[in-house]
Structure 1
Amino acid sequence: MLRTVTRDSLARNSVLIMASTVGTAGLGYLYWLLAARQLNQPSIGTATALISVSTVVSMVSNLGLGHMFIQRLPGAGVREWSRIVSAGLLTGCVATAAVSFAAAAVLPSVAVNFAFLRSSSGVVALVVTSVALTATTLLDNVFVAHRASHGMFTRNLALAGGKLATLAALTWAGYGGTAVVLLAWTLPSVAVTGYTLATMLGRLRPGARLTGSGLAPELRHVRGSLSGHHLINLAQAGPTALLPVLVTARLGAEANAHFYVAWMTASVLFMVSPAVASALYAERTNAAAAGLGRASVVVLAVTGLPALVLFLAGERILGLFSAGYAAEGAMLLQILVLAALPDAITNLAVAHWRSLGEFRRCLRLNLLMATVCLTLTWLWLPGSGIEAAGIAWLVGQTTGALVVAVRSLPNLAVVRSLSNRRKAPAG
């Protein structure tokens, strides 16, 4: 097994991306566990609401540049590589800052539960957290583009460990409240991003350096990414980012704290198939042979046991936070576990179609799932509580998986027909 992982580029990079996401999730779990034990629920609820908004802002404003990196960086010369990365990072971070200010101006008037964004400190926290998220996401994709996921693994472990250590230090010193959660979340992101820009990029692509000149021609590629990859990404990641925001808007910050902890726990499963999908797409842009069968085996091998553990022992796991989190989030966690299989099917299908250039098909599928999930969440939350968001997520992903199955039937029929012809006796 170890020999297969080291020799097979798809398996190796999939495992490294998953190790990065799972390791980050594990340290993130300890982060929120420490926060739940040291801080009151209203403080955590406000912090998770702001982080949720930052996630949406970053998702909306990164312009699909990460997938543009995966598509264009392999084989690029040093000067072109420097220009692509510089233009992408600058454009993504500036766009994120602008959308952050817009969100801070609009959200408090739309939903009273976002009133904390009326303060200058809330606006600053939103801008800094959102820009840090965008920079982290784009830099991760630079490493994925070069099938150097070990760099992503190192960065993200340092980032997650830094968050946990900073939170522990601040709470040990006697500080509390929402600001502590946000500072511990954001400061390590800024530090790790700065270190990556200063040292790691030069090692990844010797001779490359960030530049501010010659960026204008890159705007054409940014526009192409916006109309292609970005729309697909928005429709795909939109529900995952928007669900905590909708829970806050409809049920309040405290309910979002219960939802966020269960959602974060289940995210161990939801991180696997996107990681394998990214590795699959990177393999194909590097002109390497990579099939859906191999990718599916990797996903099933990694998610099987964790899914069983979370489904059977989820209440006890949530109880590590407090009895309240277990009581409110246990059923939600089980619902989310059930959604992991259809989620994996749709993620791998989108990666496959994206590699074939079938962007419209990817977009239509993601829009369908997003519309079903978000509409049902908004309608069901007031009457059914936080479990409504989980059920809506399950329905949306299942709908998408059924569409993938229907679209795959003609291809399966062709394959079966060809197989039968080969087996038929001649003459």
Structure 2
Amino acid sequence: MKDSLFFNAYLLIAMRILGAGMGFLFWMLAAHAAAADEVGIASGAVSAATLFAGLAQLGLGYGLVRHLADSDDPNSLLNLSLITSGLAALVLAGLFLIALPLWGPELLPLRASLTAALVFVSLVLSTTTTQLMHWVFMAARRLSFSLWKMSIQSALAIVLLIVLLPRMSGYLAIVTAYTLATILALAISFWPFLALAQPGYRFSLRFNRSFRTPFASYSFVNYLADQVNRAPDTVLPLIVIQQFGAGTGAVFFIVWTLGRSIAAWAGSIAESLFAEAAGRPERAGVQVWRAARLGLPMALGIAAAVILAGPLILKAYGPEYVAEGATLLSLVALSGAPTVLLAIFVNYLRVHDRLRAVSIIMACSVGIGMLLFVTLMQVGLVAAGAGWLAAQVAVLAGALLWWRCTNRARRSNVSDVVPGVEASERVAYQ
């Protein structure tokens, strides 16, 4: 397939679908083979490891996609990223285990033995590194390697789970299977995949890079923006539980997670745009329109499918989920359309290093969305969902209006400097 923008987007969608399907199968097998408490401890360990992996990457993945291709020493840049994120992962995992009695006594079995503690630390470290490798493959525009890595990891996790469950205690068997699968898939990522994506790469504990570089500042700003973007998925469920109780909170968590996850499939085109345009910023203007022409119909199509099939999906969880969550699920799915367009625009700005604009737009999207959600939540969850949808539409409209005014001012300045320049010629001066 010659069109790498769309091809990479389809690969990302395939990865999300594969991850969701194989993850469902893995946890279904675990639930049938181990007690509910054991599965709860294991899922808590995996969730914590995933959270810490996202924090430990420090936005370095964004920096790699933007700067790796143009770097005069890509090996050093890779080693800096791997070592820094690895050290951050070790620190976070250690602090988590030390303070476990304070914030998660139900997960104390994770530090009950040296073996359990080492398995958890290995899980955090390997998850951090394997996620960073995905960014490396994206920077090299070799996302097929990420798909292979995920396929191998998912299959190994299920096989290892079946092998280990008769030989180890429930939660430890589940976490160990997950960890070993991640480590083995990571080994394949380094060889042969990384050798093909980044020819000549050699891992070394020494690197000729400092943190006072455009790469570091670019990574850190995007890291902060990324953490802001995660806030609705972590904060809103807690607010709903506090306001309405655990029962309604459970309905909201399922509906919100399902709606946002499905809508993220269409968001894959925004990630593909970032990978494709990062090495050729001069082509970003053309690519952004092509991405929008695919992303918007895809988001609307997914939303229509969710609206039609939503009640059937929620029925599998229970009748109360249909009664309380069907309309909310439709609104969350519909919000995927403005969210995808906003993500495409934000990644266009990232390619051009407009990081202040990226931070402001993402802060407005999350801040206004959460403010309207919490305010209208007093009326009901459906009203809150409508508020979230309205906020995303409003922020998208505001961002596009700002961009139009900015471009108009730039063209006006070009005309002042070069009198008589035609519109088609002005573009060359931008």
- TM-score band by shorter chain is 0.7 to 0.9
**Match 1:93 to one of 82, 86, 91:** 86
Percent identity over paired residues: 23
User: AA paired with 2:225?
Assistant: I
Q: Is 1:316 matched with 2:312?
A: yes
**Match 1:139 to one of 129, 133, 136:** 133
Assess if the C-alpha contact under 8 Å between 2:18 and 2:151 holds in 1.
Answer: yes
Distance in 2 separating the partners of 1:131 and 1:256: 31
Secondary structure of the corresponding residue to residue 7 of structure 1: coil
Aligned to 2:57: 62
User: AA paired with 1:15?
Assistant: Y
List gaps (5 residues or longer) in structure 2: 416-421, 425-430
Q: 1:228 to 1:41 in 2, by over 3 A?
A: same
User: AA paired with 1:67?
Assistant: Y
Distance in 2 separating the partners of 1:325 and 1:42: 24
**Shift of residue 92, structure 1, vs aligned partner:** 0.7
Please identify, of 59-68 and 317-326, the stretch whose mean Cα deviation from structure 2 is larger. Answer: 317-326
Distance in 2 separating the partners of 1:81 and 1:268: 33
Deviation per CA, 1:99-131: give whole Å up to 9, x if none: 23334556764x6xx332445158666544433
List gaps (5 residues or longer) in structure 1: 1-5
Q: Is 1:275 matched with 2:271?
A: no
Aligned to 1:366: 362
What RMSD in Å do the two structures reach over aligned CA positions?
4.2
Aligned to 1:217: 209
For the pair shown, the structure with the greater C-alpha radius of gyration is 2
Secondary structure of the corresponding residue to residue 291 of structure 2: helix
Distance in 2 separating the partners of 1:327 and 1:16: 35
**Shift of residue 63, structure 1, vs aligned partner:** 1.0
Aligned to 2:156: 162
Assess if the C-alpha contact under 8 Å between 2:69 and 2:279 holds in 1.
Answer: yes
Q: 1:99 to 1:251 in 2, by over 3 A?
A: farther
Q: Is 1:404 matched with 2:406?
A: no
Assess if the C-alpha contact under 8 Å between 2:237 and 2:252 holds in 1.
Answer: yes
**Shift of residue 89, structure 1, vs aligned partner:** 1.0
Listed as ranges, the matches of 1:104-253 within 5 Å are 104=97, 109=102, 114-119=104-109, 120-121=111-112, 127-167=121-161, 173=166, 178-179=171-172, 181-213=174-206, 215=207, 217-221=209-213, 223-240=216-233
Larger relative contact order (CA 8 Å, sep ≥ 6): 1
**Shift of residue 355, structure 1, vs aligned partner:** 1.3
Assess if the C-alpha contact under 8 Å between 2:138 and 2:275 holds in 1.
Answer: yes
Distance in 1 separating the partners of 2:314 and 2:377: 21
Q: 1:34 to 1:261 in 2, by over 3 A?
A: farther
Aligned residues, how many? 408
Please identify, of 285-294 and 181-190, the stretch whose mean Cα deviation from structure 2 is larger. Answer: 181-190
**Shift of residue 197, structure 1, vs aligned partner:** 1.8
Aligned to 1:11: 6
Please identify, of 36-45 and 328-337, the stretch whose mean Cα deviation from structure 2 is larger. Answer: 36-45
Distance in 2 separating the partners of 1:325 and 1:32: 21
Aligned to 2:292: 296
**Match 1:25 to one of 15, 20, 24:** 20
Distance in 2 separating the partners of 1:59 and 1:190: 17
Distance in 2 separating the partners of 1:180 and 1:395: 45
Please identify, of 395-404 and 376-385, the stretch whose mean Cα deviation from structure 2 is larger. Answer: 376-385
**Shift of residue 41, structure 1, vs aligned partner:** 5.9
Q: 1:378 to 1:166 in 2, by over 3 A?
A: farther
**Shift of residue 398, structure 1, vs aligned partner:** 4.2
Distance in 1 separating the partners of 2:376 and 2:121: 31
Assess if the C-alpha contact under 8 Å between 2:161 and 2:173 holds in 1.
Answer: yes
